[in-house]
Amino acid sequence: MTGRGQRMLKRTVRRSRQLSAESIAKDLQTWCDLQMSPTTVRRELHGMGVHGRAAASKPSITKCHAKRRMPWCKARCHWTLEQRRCVLWSDQSCFSCLVIQ
């Protein structure tokens, strides 16, 4: 694909915000008179870093967690690097923190 074709593809994706390669290929043909198959559209978009997948949902911090986390952080803000290395950090556990002595 030429540089002009890539620029037109980027502009079309920004303009339409559509996720279907078929509809993007049709838009390119209509707006830019550029013939491109949906497979080529997918391959070029993938090469540009545009992927057709949903973002992973991330758990948010609840008010309860925020209230518990802030005093814990304030109490340990003056720790040295050695003291911080002795803490087992985990985001998938049922306990808040474990200090290894």
31 pLDDT more than 80 = no
25 band by pLDDT with thresholds 50, 70 and 90: confident
| 69: its two tokens | 């986390």
pLDDT confidence bin for 85, thresholds 50/70/90: confident
Beta carbons of 21 and 45 less than 8 angstroms apart: yes
Task: State the pTM of this model.
Answer: 0.41
Other C-beta atoms within 10 Å of 1: how many?
14
Cα angle 46, 51, 53; round to 5: 150
Instruction: State the average pLDDT over residues 12-36.
Output: 73
* E strand or H helix at 99: strand 98-99
The residues, any chain, with a CB within 8 Å of residue 5's CB and separated by 6 or more, are: 34, 36, 44
What does the pLDDT average to over 43-48?
Answer: 80
